[in-house]
Amino acid sequence: MTLSPIRKVFQGIADRREMFRMFDRHAQRPDRGQGDAGSLYAGEWFEIGQAAHDYMFEALPPVILAVDMFALREFLTRSVTSVFFTLWIDGRARYFHGYCDLADITSGGHMRKAIVERETRPVRAMTRQERLEHIWSSTHDDYRGYAGERWPAPDRGKRTISVYGGRQGTTLRLLDGLTDQEISEKLPVHLRYLPDAIAA
């Protein structure tokens, strides 16, 4: 399955602490400091509250991209930076953070459209990939990482996560290889029983 380059990485409204944690969800990647990590970040988005949105607007002089979005002047990597959106969905203002590659002048507009399409679905649901991204976003750094040299060559560099295996104890598994039951066990109760959404 080819994943959409624009992806929701957290369910619900991230509080300020969660927002700052998710600004660098890939901090543990093995090649940190080498090459351009823009492809890891570009396209990620999540919802934030108005207070967090306003705090980021006032933190540094923003780059105004449109009436409903602004970007930070400090780039995460090369041309990828944080973009903040105020979008009217179902008659109320909602606030979002996303990483856009500003080398593509249409990236902000594409992200705005993807967020609105995702958030106006008539039935609240999650795709398998959204479930995995939420698990990754909400897991403490001590319990997630990247497959290293002890893993088979094709798996090296892929995301890993600790899973409680009952009598076998805690084991390290590839995030993408979690079973439906393991995914359900790792999700908070209010997200476990949402219907599966068909990926766009």
Mean pLDDT on 114-138? 88
20 with 99, same domain?
yes
115 with 132, same domain?
no
Q: Does residue 2 surpass a pLDDT of 50?
A: no
Give the integer Cα–Cα distance in Å for 124 and 192.
Answer: 12
Q: Which of 84, 119, 154 is the last residue of a domain?
A: 119
Q: Encode pLDDT of 130-187 as tens digits.
A: 999 999 999 998 999 999 889 999 998 899 999 987 787 888 999 999 999 899 888 8
25 with 107, same domain?
yes
Biggest alpha carbon distance in the chain?
56
63 with 22, same domain?
yes
Q: Encode pLDDT of 43-61 as tens digits.
A: 999 999 999 999 999 987 8
54 with 92, same domain?
yes
The count of structural domains within the chain is 2
SS (H, E, C) 50-95: HHHHHHHHHHCCCEEEECCEEECCCCCECCEEEEEEEEEECCEEEE
Q: Which domain holds residue 85?
A: 7-119
Measured in Å, how far apart are the chain's first and last C-alpha atoms? 11
138 with 112, same domain?
no
Residue 1 located in a structural domain: no
Q: Does residue 14 surpass a pLDDT of 90?
A: yes
113 with 18, same domain?
yes
Pairing between strand 44-48 and 7-14?
Answer: parallel
Q: Rounded to an integer, what is the distance from CA 182 to the centroid of its chain? A: 20
82 with 42, same domain?
yes
Instruction: Categorize the per-residue pLDDT at 65 as very low, low, confident or very high, splitting at 50, 70 and 90.
Output: confident
Sequence-separated contacts (24+) of 156-165 with Cβ below 8 Å = 157/29, 157/30, 157/31, 161/135, 161/136, 161/186
Q: Which of 77, 93, 119 is the last residue of a domain?
A: 119
pLDDT at residue number 167: 80
Q: Which of 89, 119, 149 is the last residue of a domain?
A: 119
**The model's pTM:** 0.85
Mean pLDDT on 64-80? 85
Give the integer Cα–Cα distance in Å for 36 and 20.
Answer: 21
50 with 107, same domain?
yes
Instruction: Categorize the per-residue pLDDT at 4 as very low, low, confident or very high, splitting at 50, 70 and 90.
Output: very low
70 with 14, same domain?
yes
104 with 22, same domain?
yes
8 Å CB contact between 69 and 108? yes
Residue 159 located in a structural domain: yes
Tokens in use for 178?
A: 């979690």
3-class SS of residue 186: helix
